[in-house]
Amino acid sequence: MMPTDPERTPRPVRVLHFVTGGFSGGATQVAIALVNAARAGADVEPLLVLRRKRRTDPTRISELEHAGVPLQVVPGWSHLATIAALVRICREFRPDVLVAHGFSEHLWGRYAGLLAGVPHLVHVEHNTRERYTGWRRAQTRWLARRTSRIVGCSEGVRQVLLSMGMPPTRTVSIANGIRTAPFVGAADVPPGERTPGIVMVSRLSKQKDHATLLRALAVLGTRGLRPALMLAGAGKARHRQGLERLVSELRLEGQVQFLGLCRNVPELLRSHRVAVLSTHYEGMPLALIEGMAAGCAVVGSAVPGVQEVIDDGVDGLLVRAADPDALADALEWLLRDEVLCNRLGRAAHERALHEFSRERMSANYDAMCIGLAAQPAFRGD
């Protein structure tokens, strides 16, 4: 007769994270962070599935695989191909929870989860503005009735989801978080003692408003200030070319550097006085939070998502979006007033490390997924 173990350990909850393989946006970075955090624990068994894009960098895929990240890649050349491949993976991995990150991956991920019979589906929205057509909005509402949780990466995103008709009782917010280890001790060198330059970490895209920052820099020149500006982030060539033309028109050559994809962001931020996020819209901006964690004096556009991160006048400054003069005023204030700069930088550092850590984000996602897995499969409204 076989012996029995009355204290047999239950298996970990299996969670599949599905996200774009474009790597340029925050959704992919959040999904990778959640998978890595789960790997370090014993309660969740994660799997990362990336949807291949034209710009998917094979080097980044190799780096993840070499680091031991459990990873599969599905084709992205057609939605049907994406769904079919993801259905096969779901049937093999048998997740308790499928977390579909971002637009439009949350559509194809949940269709695959339904077809594969995944017990619980989670939709994570990472921005306050997406390219929803009427048809895709209708699909989102139909899928919401079959989705266990709908997550906004900030309260601002949650409010947008509710305005789209998402179910209030199942729509929650979980704030994004950053890896804080590179920024521990950053406040030891206050921003007033650093290089008096400006850093903006952001991909070059229509969403981000680099043009307003460049025009603000030109305004500062008329006031006798010519700080160096570092633009860290990759993007499409046409966006960079347009910004380079604007630099030339504004006669900012030699003052602005396009760094491209930057692998030493923490060091870059820790060595400069001011971090800026000039943007048209956001979800929960990780780059801005990193600027805060680095102890920089931060300035952000007053749009949803950013407004939740910066407490104006306490740990940073908010300025009207797309207003070069308002942005120039804030930058001049920080560049000339070392006392203010140091006070804001210290408060920003403390808030970022305590409120926006990856550990807190991961714990919240794990609690959600473990709680869902303990419930019967969600059958819909």
Domains defined along the chain, listed by start: 13-177+358-373 (3.40.50.2000), 181-355 (3.40.50.2000)
pLDDT at position 210 over 60 = yes
Confidence of residue 5 (pLDDT cuts 50, 70, 90): low
Q: Helix or strand or coil: residue 263? A: coil
pLDDT at position 3 over 90 = no
Here the tokens at position 2 are 């076989």
Res 57: pLDDT: 84
Confidence of residue 46 (pLDDT cuts 50, 70, 90): very high
Please name which of 1, 15, 68, 23 lies closest in space to residue 44, comparing C-alpha atoms. 15
Confidence of residue 78 (pLDDT cuts 50, 70, 90): very high
pLDDT at position 98 over 80 = yes
104 vs 248, 314, 353, CA distance in Å? 36, 36, 31
Bridge partner residues of 97 (DSSP): 15, 120
Beta-strand ranges (E) seen in the chain are 13-20, 44-51, 71-74, 97-101, 120-125, 149-152, 171-173, 195-201, 229-232, 256-260, 272-277, 297-301, 317-319
End-to-end CA distance of the chain: 47
Confidence of residue 122 (pLDDT cuts 50, 70, 90): very high
Res 9: pLDDT: 60
Query: Are 80 and 51 spatial neighbours (Cβ–Cβ below 8 Å)?
Result: no
Res 56: pLDDT: 82
DSSP assignment of 57-108: -HHHHHHHHHTT--EEEE--SSHHHHHHHHHHHHHHH--SEEEEESTTHHHH
CB count, 10 Å around CB of 1? 3
Q: Helix or strand or coil: residue 23? A: coil
Please name which of 7, 89, 85 lies closest in space to residue 47, comparing C-alpha atoms. 89
Confidence of residue 55 (pLDDT cuts 50, 70, 90): confident
Q: Which amino acid would we find at residue 306?
A: V
Does the pTM of the predicted model rise above 0.85?
yes
The C-alpha atoms of residue 363 and residue 355 are separated, in whole angstroms, by 13
Give the residue-averaged pLDDT of 243-254: 97
pLDDT at position 6 over 50 = no
Res 22: pLDDT: 82
56, with CB counted inside 10 A (0-12, 13-18, 19+), is middle
Give tens-digit pLDDT for 184-199.
999 999 999 999 999 9
- Measured over the CA atoms of residue 364, residue 176, residue 284 and residue 165, the dihedral's sign is negative
Q: Report whether the peptide linkage leading into residue 104 is cis, meaning its omega lies within 30 degrees of zero.
A: yes
Bridge partner residues of 230 (DSSP): 199, 257
Please name which of 257, 312, 309 lies closest in space to residue 287, comparing C-alpha atoms. 309
Burial 334-351, CB ≥16 within 10 A → b, else e: bbeebebbbbbbbbbbeb
Give tens-digit pLDDT for 357-372.
999 999 999 999 999 9
Q: Helix or strand or coil: residue 213? A: helix
- The mean pLDDT of the chain is 95
Confidence of residue 376 (pLDDT cuts 50, 70, 90): very high
345 vs 33, 259, 303, 306, 321, CA distance in Å? 26, 24, 21, 16, 22
Query: Which tops the pLDDT comparison, 9 or 308?
Result: 308
Here the tokens at position 246 are 């604007």
Res 2: pLDDT: 47
Number of Cα atoms under 13 Å in the Cβ half of residue 242: 12
Query: Are 32 and 2 spatial neighbours (Cβ–Cβ below 8 Å)?
Result: no
pLDDT at position 272 over 70 = yes
The C-alpha atoms of residue 73 and residue 57 are separated, in whole angstroms, by 12
Please name which of 257, 275, 293 lies closest in space to residue 341, comparing C-alpha atoms. 275
